[in-house]
Amino acid sequence: MKKFECIHHGDDQLGEGPVWNDQDQSLYWLDCVGKKISATALDNSPVRTWSLPDMPGSYAFREHGGLVMAFRRGLAFVDLNESGVATEWIPNTGVDPKTVRFNDGACDRRGRFWAGTFHNKITEPLGGLYRLDGDRSVHNMDTGIMMSNGMAWSPDNRTMYYTDTRPGYVYAYDFDLDDGTVRNRRIFLDYSKEPYSADGCTVDAAGCLWVAEVDAGRIARYTPAGKRDAVYELPVSRPSSVAFAGANLDVLCVTTLRFGLSEEEKAREPLAGALFALSPGVSGLPEPRFRG
């Protein structure tokens, strides 16, 4: 693939959360508005889809099967079965869904699940960064977030990247893998004066950060020094998230949005909401699983 190709075009409204599952060699992704999760083997075989009990934000696979998932109103363990979906809600998250809701998330390489929250009306910086441990305890790791989005870790586990789409920053933290702590938050990428924003992200094996730049219609690659060194254009304006997939993790998959587009924009972008893939010539890193 020399450019992005559409590999699935269903009825997704808010495509999000692409994650490669190495066990069944499939890419999974969400339609948050449609309350569903789908999977494809990237080989033109039929797409599998499961309905979810609530609006999802993110998820990770568990070591012993199933998923840990951040729904808008809380965290839960989810099993995807032929007969449907089984859900076990995690109590005592310390998050009030009447005020804030969970969104994007991912596992660090010690198997802890991190997820961010944001204010329901996105008018106040009441969101935070949370860590779910294997013993089901939930820890608030940072505050003052307006619109929590993508997160990723450097290959050496010393840096955590975390997107606050509004006001328009990708932060970098010093990350302690042993303790699972973050400190020294600083701005890594500044989109605050741009007409587009950062959304989901991932890190490749060389340590570069790939960012879905929503409303710019592109995926950009940034070096650890914050220098943009590659840009890949999409045939739609609203990419939402990115993940490396395939047996060799050398296929870059991108989810996109129809949600928020006007009828005229939808007419101009018939592939909005589709799933795209590209072979960029670099590989990603294995996706950690939740240890709990």
The residues that bridge with 39 in the sheet, in sequence order, are 28, 48
Given a contact cutoff of 8 angstroms between Cβ atoms, the answer to whether 150 and 241 are in contact is yes
Helix (H, G, I), strand (E, B) or coil at 286: coil
Given a contact cutoff of 8 angstroms between Cβ atoms, the answer to whether 180 and 137 are in contact is no
Other Cβ atoms within 10 Å of 123 Cβ, number: 9
Helix (H, G, I), strand (E, B) or coil at 13: coil
Closest alpha carbon to 147 in 187, 106, 186, 103: 103
What count of residues does the chain have?
A: 292
Measure the CA–CA gap between 199 and 74, rounded to whole angstroms: 21
Measure the CA–CA gap between 262 and 267, rounded to whole angstroms: 9
Helix (H, G, I), strand (E, B) or coil at 46: coil
Of 199, 204, 229, 250, catalytic: 199
DSSP 266: H
Catalytic annotation present for 174: no
DSSP 118: E
Token duo for residue 288: 């950690």
Closest alpha carbon to 10 in 277, 276, 272, 274: 274
Q: Residue for token digits 């999760």?
A: 37
Measure the CA–CA gap between 124 and 185, rounded to whole angstroms: 19
Q: Residue for token digits 């609203």?
A: 238
Measure the CA–CA gap between 16 and 36, rounded to whole angstroms: 11
Catalytic residues: 199
